[in-house]
A and B are shown apart, each in its own frame.
Chain A
Amino acid sequence: DAKTTQPTSMDCAEGRAANLPCNHSTISGNEYVYWYRQIHSQGPQYIIHGLKNNETNEMASLIITEDRKSSTLILPHATLRDTAVYYCIVRVHFGTNAGKSTFGDGTTLTVKP
């Protein structure tokens, strides 16, 4: 199974872009990259996912390198409510283990006023 590596913590100024990196150098062809966040031990909240192309939605952008070995989650204008633990996940998308997820240890993002 692919592993993901994330920095333990990061700070960001309110209103600035937050760039959260993730390394997933052993990702395989049937695995997608997902990002979730978790606030105050609530259930994880889906943010965005992708296979190999860059993706953008109303919450964030996801940049995946061409070799797919790393990715960056971008929150374009961080607010205090974005303070959370952000998980980078590789998830099997087809085959016997479809649905199986491997979570990284997470990055605690603190947005400061």
Chain B
Amino acid sequence: DTEVTQTPKHLVMGMTNKKSLKCEQHMGHRAMYWYKQKAKKPPELMFVYSYEKLSINESVPSRFSPECPNSSLLNLHLHALQPEDSALYLCASSLGRVLAKNIQYFGAGTRLSVL
């Protein structure tokens, strides 16, 4: 089973709202990732967690706040977003970050619209 589950599938929020995206995997993976994908563009890495610690932050604005409460769960907290933040947000996980453990499995994504 290589399933990464993301909820919700769709989210519409206003610029003053606070919302959260959730990602879950039960494959025993210890690395988890958030990507952002705009229409007709490739995914762009936002954050990498390894063993529940933030390892990479790709200079993402502070209105995006990641959290990894345990090895199976990854959240992305959203606050005061802008319309240009509308995109497909993808979560991925891998056994680890290094060498042969780095095959990343992706969820289906959350399609976010900011009004």
Residues in A lying within 8 Å of B, measured CB to CB: 32, 34, 36, 41-46, 49, 87, 91, 93-94, 97-101, 103-106
Q: Is B62 an interface residue (CB 8 A)?
A: no
| With known contacts A99-B50, A99-B94, A103-B43, A94–B106 Cβ distance under 8 A | no
Partner of B107, one of A36, A41, A43, A91: A43
| With known contacts A43-B108, A100-B56, A93–B99 Cβ distance under 8 A | yes
Complex contact B103–A99 (CB within 8 A): no
Number of interface residues of B (CB under 8 A): 28
CB distance from A37 to the nearest CB of B (A): 11
Complex contact A99–B56 (CB within 8 A): yes
Complex contact A87–B42 (CB within 8 A): yes
CA distance A49 to B100 in the complex (A): 10
Complex contact A43–B106 (CB within 8 A): yes
Point out the residues of chain A lying under 8 angstroms from B105, CB to CB.
46
CB distance from A107 to the nearest CB of B (A): 11
Within 44-76 of B, Cβ neighbours of A (below 8 Å) are at 44-45, 48, 50, 55-56
Interface string of B93-115 (1 = CB under 8 A from A): 01001110011111111010000
Closest B residue to A46 by beta carbon equals B103
Q: Apart from A93-B98, A98-B97, A106-B42, what are 18 other A-B pairs with CB-CB below 8 Å?
A: A41-B88, A41-B109, A41-B111, A43-B4, A43-B92, A43-B107, A43-B108, A46-B103, A87-B42, A93-B102, A94-B99, A99-B48, A99-B102, A100-B45, A100-B56, A101-B104, A103-B42, A103-B44
Closest B residue to A88 by beta carbon equals B42
